[in-house]
Structure 1
Amino acid sequence: MSIPLSLAALPKPPKTSGAWLLPVLALLATGLLPLLLSEYAQDLAVKIIIYAIFALSLELLVGTTGLISLGHAAFFGVAAYATALMLPDNGPGAILLMLPAAMLAAGCYALFVGALSLRTKGVYFIMVTLAFAQMAFFIFHDTGIAGGSDGIYLTSRPALAVSGFMLVDLELPRHFFFFALGSLAASYLLLAMILRSRFGRALAGIRINEQRMRAAGYRTYGYKLAAFVIAGMLAGLAGFLMAARTGVVNPEMLSWHESGAVLLMIILGGLGSLRGAVLGAIAFILLKEFYSSEAVFAGFAQHWQLSLGVTMILFVAFLPNGLIGLGRRSTGKSRKRSKKTTISAGGHHA
């Protein structure tokens, strides 16, 4: 006889005073970057923003639902290819048409992959998602679809015009920056709302004890599939932006290296935290740029993977909770100190 699990029994996100203050301040500060950065640094900031969206999408699976996927780059790449294939040759395509279509393409593939892979668990789930991603990789790499191994180039960039007035032109760096930043803010807000909803609390319950959730009457397969599709569509948003940024799409965007990189980002930032996913993307991209800089490391810069790998090992060893754990640790210490001070002061007064 199963015992009903009420909403009150489901895991709740921690309530912290001023939890929204830091993300809002960070968003406002980031909005000022185009006024301060060079063209190269601004492009690097856009790259970080795109990968932050990509990391947030995987965080919904790994950190929230407990589903470790090694094939998440498939949705990233499928959306990028959809963007390139839909773009007209005679001018910019409409963002309002291309963006939803790219995300829908990623979502449809995520629905297909999730419907099959979620019937497995543990390491089998990891391997099945990897297999589906490699399947998509070889379809684009070994066939004549979209240029084969050479990929496909975008002749123009998506844009948004109303009554002949250009509102957003992704050909312009500043327009692209703010459009990408707005996409990141919307993705973060959406996931924050999901985590605080009944659906998000159910996903957290599945991560903690799926068997108990099933015994309580929750159809966990449907919840996991919905999370898988949402994560795939958000990865598709990142893929759309990356295709528009680089102007070229190739099969490497679907490779397991890309899936592994975004998984490292959320581990580096700290699992179970949206802010950790964003921090991990920032740290990973900046470390990669630093170690691959010939101005700093000269000829050894070509071995940047080695330096980055050693750094990741050190981070995991000394910061098991990720970068977000540093803030939590300092906050915990300050609370302990204030508590000790209060107790001491109370004893002295007595």
Structure 2
Amino acid sequence: MVLVLALAVIPALAVAFDAIFALTFATRILILAAAAVSLNLILGYGGLLSLCHSTFLGLGAYVVGIGGYHAYNDEIAWMADGFMQLCAILVLTAGVAAIIGGISLRTRGMYFLMITLAFGQILYLAAIGAYQYGGDEGMTIFQPSTFAGFALHGRFVMYAAAAIFFCVCVLVVERLTRSRFGLVLQASRMNEARVRALGYDPMRVRLVAFIISGVMAGMAGFLLANNAEFVSPIDLHWTRSADLVIMVVLGGLGIGLGPLFGAGLLLIVEELASGMTPHWPIIVGVMVLLVALFMPRGLAGVVSSEKRHD
């Protein structure tokens, strides 16, 4: 309830202080925080460090970009339909996540990390080679997604959509992790042999979690593209996955609202530091190091009473 009230107050404050940029910035934070929430499901609760999460984020963004491209240039109106795009994202990201997860989850540790990285880079290079859709320069989205004739466009509309989606992601992950499925996922991280002895299949549970996580990230990509009105291969690059990992770690692994704290801190520091020095990534690196040393439960663990689900 406090979260909902806080999110509802932000637009009013933006109008009162004539800080519309702050509203746009808050929208971006919420969208990336939602993507980080999806990663937190497999990283914070499942102990799976994936470097291909940007793949799902980028796929969702490209569905919007490609749909908008053909709707605007070829007048194929249905390709800009938001419901159709969401269905396409659901099927596409679930299928890709099933393939990547089915292969990578057969390994552990560094091997899992490298396989997810490899898959992510393959799709990143495929996006660079898609010259019809801008190649490595990306493309501007002239036709936003529409729902029954209503365009997903405008600062307040995008903020409302991002806020609702973020709250839904947090609620879904919270319910999942408190269910039997979530308990088995967390137990698999701590003692896989004991989970097998109890009659559960850790591989299957992890794969389902990986697919759910990928679909949620794809939906975040849908909002990211509509908010930026631009899509680029950088959305699929592994550095975007690294950003999401940093958000989860900064906010607190396995803490529901952790990704919001992490995304807010990372993006604010990037915004301020990039205007001060071209070497701003060093500042981010020092910040992550300090949080890891002095706040092992992350920012959310310090400012809230919520505990990691172990």
Contact 1:137 1:252 in 2 (8 A): yes
Match of 1:218, SS state, is coil
Asked if 1:97 is matched to 2:84, the reply is yes
Looking at structure 1, the residues matched to 142 and 301 of structure 2 have their Cα atoms a distance apart, in angstroms, of: 44
Equivalent in the alignment of 2:293: 317
Matches within 5 A, 1:13-162: 24-37=1-14, 38-87=19-68, 88-89=71-72, 90=75, 93-144=80-131, 146-161=133-148
Q: CA deviation at 1:188?
A: 1.1
Larger RCO: 1 or 2 (CA < 8 Å, sep 6+): 2
Deviation by residue 1:56-101 (Cα, 9 ceiling, x = unmatched): 0000010111111111111111111112112321469222221232
- Deviation of 1:329 after TM superposition, in Å, equals 7.9
- 1:303 matches 2:279: yes
Is there any run of 5+ residues in structure 2 with no aligned partner, and where? none
Higher mean displacement: 211-220 or 141-150: 141-150
Q: Does 1:215 align with 2:197?
A: yes
Listed one character per residue, the Cα deviations across residues 130-155 of structure 1 (whole Å, up to 9, x for unaligned) are 01001111111134362221222211
Name the SS for the 2:45 alignment partner.
helix
Counterpart secondary structure, 2:147 = strand
Q: Give the match for residue 268 of structure 2.
A: 286
Q: 1:201 aligns with which of 164, 178, 183?
A: 183
For residues 329 and 34 of structure 1, the distance between their equivalents in structure 2, rounded to whole angstroms, comes to 27
Query: How far did 1:243 drift?
Result: 0.7
Contact 1:155 1:247 (8 Å CA) reproduced: yes
**How far apart in 1 are the matches of 2:61 and 2:205?**
27
Q: Which amino acid aligns with 1:188?
A: V
Q: Which amino acid aligns with 1:101?
A: A
Contact kept, 8 Å, 1:156 with 1:171, in 2: the verdict is no
**TM-aligned CA deviation for residue 328 of structure 1:** 5.8
After TM superposition, list the pairs within 5 Å mapping 1:143-182 onto structure 2.
Answer: 143-144=130-131, 146-161=133-148, 166=150, 169-182=151-164
Question: C-alpha offsets along residues 254-305 of structure 1, whole Å, 9 cap, x if unaligned?
Answer: 1111011110111001101111122111111111112123xxx3xx2x2211
Cα displacement (A) at 1:195 = 1.0
Asked if 2 retains the 8 angstrom alpha-carbon contact of 1:117 and 1:128, the reply is yes
Q: What percentage of residue pairs aligned between the two structures are identical?
A: 34
SS at match of 2:191: helix
> Residue 49 of structure 1 aligns to which amino acid in structure 2?
L
Q: 1:149 to 1:311 in 2, by over 3 A?
A: same
CA distance in 1, matches of 2:4, 2:143: 29
